[in-house]
């Protein structure tokens, strides 16, 4: 009898293992397809965004970007409060009933309406604070995005929870195309800063309509007793996001107040270009990673595997772009932006190096959030938000370069305790994390060495455009050759992961 029971237990254990293996293969399949679609669309969107940004930069003046940058400082905060972290609650709390989701959907729309009304009321005081009368109507028009996106929050979160990565990637691509086309067209016909405002609104409206066409949700009157657990979780997410907003927007606020509109425009362009690779690639990958982390929140081994794989992939994609931009900043600004943006060279170079951290770090708090680390991350974010404005204020004494240097101090201070928690809660050692980064780090080092050799060997009479092309070409070649020479096994493992997920 005992032998029979043991054999039956073995069969059950084996069956459970086979079922777990199938689930992991299914998640790997979703992971690879999600990365493939998000990667393809993101590269397309990245190229389109770069082209449209460069065209618009040549058509507009720093003051135009400064005006929109002032509005973005405030509207970014309202957008975070407006969403209230409810989308993250829907993705993470997988036991929410349909009626509870309908209540949350109604709450999202109500918050969107509240955000629009509050922004309209705040438009005049903000225009007075920034000493820019034109800012009033910019804020009013841009605030329509709150009304529109309020209808999208819950349906989009459900699509992410259902791992509809292909649809979400295509939606992102369509949004990028319409926004870029609208912005460039309006800039060409002389709309000045309104081109940036209306172009962004067009992108938000198009994405909302596409999401609703795929996942329409009905509404239910919110009852706090019914959705209290979701609200508690979303509150922690909200505080974290507000703290991060204070950190990432305090530089704009202080630059606009202390340095003036023109200097803010220069810093805004430098910041946008430096962080564009991380924002475009990491931002869309985050749509894949957070739902996947949520799906394996009770399987720490799978969670670690996805975290390290994503870290390695993000580093391989972003590090050469960020470090390469930092190496060729002088030539890039002269050739691509024009002489009027010379003041952006140093802040752009400093912030481009910082983008390496911004690219790989966001997946760490995502993974910790799904296993109960949201409260700790909230405290770290709040502490950073208190210190960062003071750091940027001190940095502003040395202009936009000083603010960029302050960023290089604030960002690691924010990331260090969260990475410590990653090691404690998830068992990811510093060695494992560095091994995930090593292909990108060593290949970027070889790229940097070769680019610096080209800089040193190039004749002084060589045109700037030719020097720029040579540096980019040699750097890209060196990066690719180093990966294949030193990390062929890692590349083969990634290829095998793709093949196994497709089977």
Instruction: Establish if 8 belongs to a structural domain.
Output: no
Instruction: Establish if 83 belongs to a structural domain.
Output: yes
Binned at pLDDT 50, 70 and 90, residue 10 comes out as very low
Kindly report the average pLDDT of the chain as a whole number. 82
Instruction: Establish if 408 belongs to a structural domain.
Output: yes
Of residues 381 and 44, the one with the higher pLDDT is: 381
CA atoms within 13 A on the CB side of 213: 9
pTM of the full predicted structure?
A: 0.72
Binned at pLDDT 50, 70 and 90, residue 444 comes out as very high
- Calculate the CA 179 to chain-centre distance: 18
Tens-place pLDDT, residues 106-135: 988 888 888 888 888 888 888 887 777 878
Cα–Cα distance for residue pair 350/411, rounded to 1 Å: 13
Range of the domain at 122: 23-502
Instruction: Establish if 340 belongs to a structural domain.
Output: yes
Instruction: Establish if 450 belongs to a structural domain.
Output: yes
Instruction: Establish if 467 belongs to a structural domain.
Output: yes
Is it the case that residue 372 has pLDDT exceeding 70? Answer: yes
What is residue 58's predicted lDDT score, i.e. its pLDDT?
74
What is residue 209's predicted lDDT score, i.e. its pLDDT?
92
What is residue 168's predicted lDDT score, i.e. its pLDDT?
82
Is it the case that residue 48 has pLDDT exceeding 60? Answer: yes
Lowest mean pLDDT among 208-212, 248-252, 357-361: 248-252
Instruction: Establish if 460 belongs to a structural domain.
Output: yes
Does residue 291 contact residue 161 with C-beta atoms inside 8 Å? yes
Q: Which contiguous run of DSSP H or E holds residue 189?
A: none
SS3 for 247-288 is HHHHHHHHHHHHHCHHHHHHHHHHHHHHHHHHHHHHHHHHHH
Instruction: Establish if 464 belongs to a structural domain.
Output: yes
Does residue 99 contact residue 225 with C-beta atoms inside 8 Å? no
DSSP, collapsed to helix, strand or coil, labels residue 1 as coil
Is it the case that residue 452 has pLDDT exceeding 90? Answer: yes
Token representation of residue 24: 């992991």
- Calculate the CA 426 to chain-centre distance: 23
Domain total of the chain: 1
Tens-place pLDDT, residues 236-269: 888 888 888 788 778 888 888 788 777 888 888 8
End-to-end distance of the chain based on CA atoms, in angstroms?
40
Residue with tokens 């034109």: 134
Counting DSSP H helices and E strands in the chain, the numbers are 20, 0
């Amino acid at each position: 009898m005992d032998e029979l029971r043991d054999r039956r237990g073995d069969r059950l254990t084996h069956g459970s293992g086979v079922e777990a293996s199938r689930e992991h293969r299914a998640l790997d399949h979703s992971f690879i397809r999600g990365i493939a679609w998000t990667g393809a669309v993101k590269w397309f969107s990245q190229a389109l965004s770069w082209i449209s940004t460069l065209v618009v930069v040549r058509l507009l003046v720093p003051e135009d970007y400064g005006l929109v940058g002032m509005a973005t400082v405030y509207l970014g905060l309202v957008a975070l409060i407006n969403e209230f972290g409810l989308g993250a609650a829907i993705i993470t709390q997988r036991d929410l009933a349909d009626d509870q989701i309908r209540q949350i959907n109604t709450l999202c729309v109500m918050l969107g309406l509240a955000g629009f009304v509050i922004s309209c009321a705040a438009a005049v005081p903000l225009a007075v604070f920034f000493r820019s009368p034109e800012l009033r109507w910019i804020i009013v028009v841009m605030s329509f995005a709150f009304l529109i996106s309020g209808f999208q929050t819950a349906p989009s979160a459900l699509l992410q929870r259902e791992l509809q990565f292909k649809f979400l990637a295509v939606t992102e691509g369509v949004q990028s195309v319409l926004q870029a086309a609208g912005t460039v067209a309006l800039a060409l016909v002389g709309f000045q800063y309104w081109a940036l405002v209306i172009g962004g609104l067009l992108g938000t409206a198009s994405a909302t309509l596409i999401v609703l066409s795929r996942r329409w949700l009905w509404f239910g009157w919110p009852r706090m007793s019914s959705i209290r657990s979701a609200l508690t979780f979303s509150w922690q997410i909200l505080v974290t996001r507000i703290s991060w907003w204070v950190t990432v927007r305090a530089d704009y606020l202080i630059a606009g107040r202390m340095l003036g509109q023109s200097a803010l425009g220069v810093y805004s362009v430098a910041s946008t270009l430096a962080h564009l690779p991380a924002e475009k690639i990491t931002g869309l990958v985050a749509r894949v990673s957070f739902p996947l982390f949520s799906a394996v929140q009770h399987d720490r081994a799978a969670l670690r595997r996805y975290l390290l794989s994503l870290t390695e992939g993000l580093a391989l994609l972003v590090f050469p772009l960020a470090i390469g931009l930092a190496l060729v900043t002088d030539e890039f600004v002269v050739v691509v932006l024009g002489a009027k943006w010379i003041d952006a060279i140093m802040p752009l170079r400093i912030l481009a190096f910082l983008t390496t951290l911004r690219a790989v770090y966001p997946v760490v708090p995502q993974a910790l959030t799904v296993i109960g680390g949201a409260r700790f991350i909230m405290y770290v974010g709040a502490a950073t938000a208190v210190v960062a404005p003071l750091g940027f204020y001190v940095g502003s004494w040395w202009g936009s370069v000083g603010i960029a240097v302050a960023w290089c101090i604030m960002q690691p201070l924010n990331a260090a305790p969260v990475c410590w928690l990653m090691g404690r809660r998830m068992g990811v050692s510093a060695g494992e994390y560095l091994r995930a980064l090593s292909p990108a780090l060593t290949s970027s080092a070889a790229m940097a060495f070769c680019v610096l050799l080209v800089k040193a060997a190039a004749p002084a009479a060589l045109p700037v455009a030719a020097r720029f092309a040579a540096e980019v070409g040699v750097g890209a070649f060196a990066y690719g050759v180093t990966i294949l020479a030193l990390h062929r096994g890692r590349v083969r493992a990634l290829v095998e992961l793709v093949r196994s997920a497709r089977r």
